[in-house]
Structure 1
Amino acid sequence: MALPNISQPLIYRALPRETATRYAMYAFLVLAGSALIAVAGQVKVPMWPVPTTLQTLAIFTIAAAYGRNLAVATLIAYLAEGAAGLPVFTNGGGLAYFLASATTGYLVGFVVAAGITGWAADQGLASKPIKLFAANLAGTLVILVLGALWIAAMFGTDKAIAWGIGPFIVTDIVKAALAAALVPALWGLFGRK
């Protein structure tokens, strides 16, 4: 296996090269990432009409550090944990919450957004703040659109923009920018070859 280089996600610099140890580390990273997302979902910033959380900041940071495959696996694990009843979602857990709450569209959007930012990391963009920010913005757009579509299906199209996008657009752009600054800073700690 070739040595990690800057075109690979950040996490590959820290992983051992032995196969068994590497897969154990992948499992650990998926669980640690899903736990970080769960904790970030509990950090609520009061806003009207609904509070915002730090989940997207955690998701974009994890995706940029992990790359697409590991990031998507982390988000799928997070959703599976919540659907199984673990209280990892912002307001609890359980299959009914996952399938029938106003947040279902956002939860699905998290997986797609992680894939977008993770793909950007796979292309070597995690060390380039502007390009990473663009990937994070694309992920933000997906999250907001899927969230709004779900809200429109549940409450009507008149609520989709007012409840599904409006309260989150500014804070989500800020979180996308923070993640785009944080991961390249971490690249600096590892040094470039």
Structure 2
Amino acid sequence: MKLKTRDMILVGLFAALTAIGAFLKIPTPIVPFTLQFLFCAFAGVFLGSKLGLYSQLLYVGIGLAGIPIFTKGGGISYIFQPTFGYLIGFILCAYIVGKMTENLREIKFMNVFLPVVTGLAAVYAVGVPYLYVIINQYIGKEMSFMAAVKVGLVPYVVQDVLLSALVAFTATKVVPTLRRAGYVGIRQN
């Protein structure tokens, strides 16, 4: 499959933004609050499903190759970190958000907000069970699934929904302009 140079640059840009988002963090026990989700959702909205997916695959691939771009470093052993499931969720999120928004005729707040929240749900649907399994099976500490939800979802869901609203609001302002210029999605006349 061939990508245009512009598409490769955009994929790399959003992978880099997601990496930067990993370092803009508020440390909390087990799962830090970061801006990775914000850039992951923007990748889906601005790049669409395919390129958004590629940007997050690139981000995760670079980190697994050993470049320390995750919140706690990098390398293949990062798959044993309790938070690695969220990184897998980012890949799904970018694809889901892109798939649900790339063919929208009208870019309205709710038309974008609901897909972004759906992508967020995918992040949590992968991240929380992964956290639970790694802590119980690999680290060997006992944690109930409800405790994993309390640690890996509850403290972050409000902020992430607010970030989802920010993504939707930004998209209503930026995407129509980018479409008119022919840079993303369906062209509007």
Same fold (TM over 0.5): yes
- 1:50 Cα deviation (Å)? 4.5
Structure 2 counterparts to residues 32-71 of structure 1, below 5 A: 32-46=13-27, 50-71=31-52
Which residue number in structure 1 is paired with residue 116 of structure 2? Answer: 136
Aligned letter for 1:120?
Answer: M
> Among residues 90, 105, 110, which one is paired with 1:110 in the alignment?
90
2:62 matched residue in structure 1: 81
Asked if 2 retains the 8 angstrom alpha-carbon contact of 1:126 and 1:183, the reply is no
- 1:186 aligns to what? 174
Q: Aligned partners of 1:73, 1:101: CA distance in 2, in Å?
A: 22
2:4 alignment partner, SS class: helix
CA distance in 2 between partners of 1:53 and 1:125 (Å) = 32
The residue number in structure 2 matching 1:152 is 132
Q: Would you identify which runs of 4 or more consecutive aligned residues in structure 1 move more than 4 Å? A: 46-50
Q: Which has the higher contact order (CA 8 A, sep 6+)?
A: 1
Q: Structure 1 residue 61: deviation in Å? A: 1.1
**Cα distance in structure 1, aligned partners of 2:106 and 2:25:** 27
Counterpart Cα distance in 2 of 1:40 and 1:70: 18
Root-mean-square deviation (Å): 1.9
TM-score with structure 1 setting the length: 0.82
Asked whether the 8 Å contact 2:101–2:115 carries over to 1, the reply is: no
1:126–1:108 distance in 2 versus 1, CA, 3 Å? farther
Match 1:174 to one of 159, 162, 165: 162
Asked whether the 8 Å contact 1:57–1:179 carries over to 2, the reply is yes
d(CA) in 2 for partners of 1:89 and 1:125?
36
Q: Note if contact 2:31-2:83 (Cα within 8 Å) is conserved in structure 1.
A: no
Aligned positions, number: 172
Deviation at 1:151, TM superposition (A): 1.4
Q: Is the 8 A contact 2:82 2:132 kept in 1?
A: no
For residues 126 and 148 of structure 1, the distance between their equivalents in structure 2, rounded to whole angstroms, comes to: 33
In the aligned structure 1, how far is the partner of 2:49 from the partner of 2:176?
Answer: 21
Q: Read off the aligned partner of 1:89 and give its amino acid letter.
A: F
Distance 2:31 2:49 in 1: 30
- Residue 25 of structure 1 deviates from its aligned partner by 1.2
Match of 1:100 in 2: 80
Equivalent in 122, 132, 140 of residue 102 of structure 2: 122
CA distance in 1, matches of 2:154, 2:65: 31
